Structure 1
Amino acid sequence: MTTIKGKPITFAGTKLKVGDIAPDFVLTATDLSKKSLADFAGKKKVISVVPSIDTSVCDAQTRRFNQELANTDNTVVITVSVDLPFAQARWCGAAGLNDAVTLSDYYDHSFGKAYGLLINELHLLGRAVFVLDENNKITYLEYLDEMGNHPNYEAAIAAVKAVK
């Protein structure tokens, strides 16, 4: 059972597995441009999914992955939420992470459905972390059972560094 603040929640879509090729997406960047996996071709990707950038755990998750992986060769950290692009841009500026890649699934929730993360009851995204190799193969993933919990940062970072 998956919960948010101890209350059960359900999801639209099917959870992915290690070894799957990550579904492509079209998400909105802070400048309102559209971004897809092709925009990050040839790079290792950490897709850090958060319910809302304006909460303490989401803030910490976004900061930690961006700070710890900033100097990792050929790697991009992509934070995805349903926050409006304007809120994501404001958060990046306030956090001093102007180079952070934040993308919004606000428009049609297609990312949430494709990755098995759209919370039916709230139309927010569940908390998860995906590590993709340069060919978009999922090498590590974590779907959290309680949305208020932190992901296993050490395991995700180690997974990124293990991708050859």
Structure 2
Amino acid sequence: MKIQFTYLIPIFTAIACSPVSSKNIPVPAISEEWTVLNVHDGDTLKARQGNRTQSFRFCGIDAPELNQPLGKESREKLRSLVLSSKNKVMISEVEKDRYGRIVAEIFTTSPSGEKFLNEELVSSGLAYHYAQYSSSCPNKGAIVSAEIIAKNQHAGVWSGNYQKPWEYRKAQRNR
């Protein structure tokens, strides 16, 4: 039985061009373990390390605001991801935002493996890639790929005609 090479080209191309996955992204060596105290929404949490308490904003993503459709679902998704790691996260700080929050890439580790939470929220369709603020994110490529997957699967925010969070906030300011 002879397999024609032309049939294999699309298969190899699909494999070679498949999106980056968090399974390939190890927790950065410079990250620190924190205990999550509160999940404010789908892209912000408060955590403690020793005597230090800090708010963290997820690098490169923007989740729906709590008053928007899917806002509460986004927060619940993040809560469940954090809970699955017994409220322990690994945080790799990137920069500070104008509100004093540390912008970070956030991971969980468990016996079943590591998860890059920024990517998890986007791939589930419960956050957008925030292109305007992602240039300094070390794993921006994984976030971009996750959004492509979510769009193709019509997941979450890609299942309808939802207003993007940055457009929602702008409309609220202009009221």
Same fold (TM over 0.5): no
Q: Which has the higher contact order (CA 8 A, sep 6+)?
A: 1
TM range (shorter): under 0.3
Q: Determine which structure has more spread, i.e. the larger CA radius of gyration.
A: 2
TM-score norm. by structure 2 comes to: 0.26
TM-score norm. by structure 1 comes to: 0.27
